Amino acid sequence: MRRNILSVGFAAFAFVLASFVYPSIAPAAADSNDRFDKQEAMIEMRDGVKLNTEIYTPKDAKDPLPILITRTPYGLSHDSKGFSPALATSYRELVEDDYIFVFQDIRGRFKSEGRFVMMRPPRDKKDAKAIDESTDTYDTLEWLIKNIPNNNGRVGILGISYGGWLSVMALIDPHPALRAASPQASPADMFLGDDFHHNGAFRLSYGFEYVSMMETSNTNFSFQFDKYDTYDWYLNLGALSNANEKYFHGKLPTWNDFVEHPNYDWFWQKQAAAPYLDRVTVPTLNVAGWWDQEDFYGPIKIYETLEKNDSKGVNYFVAGPWNHGGWAGGDGKKLGRIDFDSATAKHFREKIQAPFFAYYLKDKGDPYKTEAITFQTGANNWKSYAEWPPRANATDRNLYFHADGKLSFDAPTRIGQQFDSYLSDPARPVPYRPRPIEPTYYFRGSGWFTWLVEDQRFAHSRPDVLSWQTEVLKEDIVVTGDVVAHLFASTSGTDSDWIVKLIDVYPEDHPKEPRMGGYQLMVANEVMRARFRKSFEKPEPLAPNRVDQYAIDIHHCNHRFQKGHKIMVQVQSTWFPVIDRNPQRYVPNIFKAKDADYQKATQRVFRSKRFPSHIRLPVMSE
């Protein structure tokens, strides 16, 4: 490989990317072209830019039909006959209900005109000439309603990941014809919890590879690594400042934005979706996957924000046992080695998604009668709730860290300097999944898509990972809602990362599937960059060896820890290369750090009466 070159791997790369982010490229049914008439149009926006759009109208439709639109930056894939494979795969259940389907390249991508801006911020409404994804959606719907024959004047929008975010943008100033929306795996805040950062910690491998793919040209390119195991490649990259110096050379706008905006400043705040979602005028089905490796924070944040102003009761939440977009294709019976005992994805598409659009776009069926539908992992069944998270029958209980790796609901009583410690070395970071770590969207198969359900025993045995676990559970413990880790910790350095993982430890004797004996299944997790412990806008260095308290939201789950299992918590300070290495010496901007800034640090996690580190669990009584 020649260094400095982003080489083309479009065919293979696009296949893998689209399968998970825009899941529509499995082989299409033979009758797609017999069932639909296809029309291609360049729809003009208010500023004169034209967007490439494909329209599929069912043949011989007797009644006026609603329109379902999906907008995407990833390109419009086609089967051998030039039709969208989504009609036969991810949208099969919707096709059976009869809709006019529309797919569109957003501005600046593939066949659409204009300039692409990653996560284009909402416009200044005082500027009459300003455009954003909301206005592009509005203008598109205006054209569709006026120019597609035999439509019933109602439109629904749905999409996954970036497409989910585009669905959210459509809600800011919705066209009167927009009657239903389903943002699925949508990001909400790229600094606090979605693709590019978690609590200010940079998602290195994902950010590096995604940005190089999206901004090398208006089509999809993949960065060519000269090592199969990218753990070694990123380690050899060294300090983040080497990315521009050796490879990007200041040519990729989003990477440059990372470098110039290392804190939660105006740049990130104006992109965040929550401030713009101050009303609910369109019924909204928010969809999340418990093991979404890219955008789990977003769907919950969007749902919670909309819920504050949902006077009509039309804001809904669904979560299932899926990775990023895993509900859109296949049956959803398994993820990695975890078996859910039923076709969860098929259930969602048939029993939840299709009825939602049928009711709001066609007056077909009954209105939704429940606020939230989530799949309870461990028990492997669907649950319905009047609110999310459910408060009835929920009690917050604290699981405390104790000596000898014990975890208990009993609070510590010992006083003094009670702690566990480890040496965190940036030169030997803990991998975030078992090696080798293939490129994120490796066309021959990458562990990226299932890493959140990987057996955590690979990390449990490392000297730079601390573990605490309960005794064997004598009864089921059901955790439903938001899980928060409360750490009392110190470091010998002046900055640090803290990663916390909540784990279900299977019994050694597991008759249902013997190979799962002792499996350590991660059910919740998160990283906290300590410099942001007080403010994401104004980071501060740590005082060496001072005990600080951290409240780390490790997010929502609905999981039954079964009798005979154990509950485990792991704490570490590196998670590489999904999270960049913290130098552990405070520097104003880690993106501009040099190799010499990285240093070892002694980490301590306290577990005394004065400093009682624990995990707060919302435990359900059933």
**Confidence band of 279 (pLDDT split at 50, 70, 90):** confident
Q: What is the pLDDT of residues 226-263, one digit of tens each?
A: 999 999 999 999 999 999 999 999 999 999 999 999 99
CA distance 592 to 255: 12
Phi, psi of 124 (to 5 degrees): -80, 115
What are the domain boundaries of the chain?
35-188+273-332+341-376, 394-620
φ/ψ bin of 470: left (φ > 0), alpha (ψ from -120 to 50), beta (otherwise): beta
Q: Shortest CA distance to 234 belongs to which of 2, 440, 493? A: 440
Note the pLDDT of residue 5: 31
In this structure, of 99-113, 119-133, 392-406, the range with the lowest mean pLDDT score is: 119-133
CA distance 425 to 181: 46
The label of the residue with tokens 């860290």 reads: 401
Note the pLDDT of residue 18: 43
Q: Is 33 helix (H, G, I), strand (E, B) or coil?
A: helix
Note the pLDDT of residue 3: 33
Beta carbons of 527 and 499 less than 8 angstroms apart? yes
| pLDDT for residue 459 is more than 80 | yes
CA distance 215 to 582: 26
CA distance 525 to 606: 19
| pLDDT for residue 135 is more than 90 | yes
CA distance 330 to 3: 38
Note the pLDDT of residue 610: 96
DSSP string, 316-385: EEEEES-STTTTSSS--SEETTEE-SS-HHHHIIIIIIHHHHHHHHH--S-----SEEEEEBTTTEEEEE
Residue type, 156: G
| pLDDT for residue 15 is more than 80 | no
| pLDDT for residue 173 is more than 80 | yes
Q: What is the pLDDT of residues 41-73, one digit of tens each?
A: 999 999 999 999 999 999 988 899 999 999 999
Q: Is 524 helix (H, G, I), strand (E, B) or coil?
A: strand
**Confidence band of 349 (pLDDT split at 50, 70, 90):** very high
Residue type, 205: S
CA distance 586 to 599: 10
Beta carbons of 213 and 440 less than 8 angstroms apart? no
Structure tokens at 38: 């296809």
CA 53-74-106 angle, 5° bins: 45
Q: What is the pLDDT of residues 563-606, one digit of tens each?
A: 999 999 999 999 999 999 999 999 999 999 999 999 999 999 99
Note the pLDDT of residue 62: 86
Beta carbons of 558 and 455 less than 8 angstroms apart? no
Share the mean pLDDT of the chain.
Answer: 92
Note the pLDDT of residue 128: 87
Note the pLDDT of residue 31: 63
Q: What is the pLDDT of residues 293-305, one digit of tens each?
A: 999 999 999 999 9
- What percent of the chain is predicted at pLDDT more than 90? 86
The label of the residue with tokens 């259940």 reads: 93
Run of H or E residues at 143: helix 133-147
Note the pLDDT of residue 562: 97
Note the pLDDT of residue 219: 57
Out of 3.40.50.2000, 3.40.50.150, 3.40.50.1820, 3.40.50.2020, the CATH code matching 35-188+273-332+341-376 is 3.40.50.1820
Note the pLDDT of residue 519: 98
- Hey, how many other C-beta atoms are within 10 angstroms of the C-beta on 605? 22
**Confidence band of 207 (pLDDT split at 50, 70, 90):** very high
CA distance 164 to 439: 24
Q: Is 180 helix (H, G, I), strand (E, B) or coil?
A: strand
Enumerate the β-bridge partners of residue 487: 550
Class of domain 394-620 (CATH, top level):
mainly beta
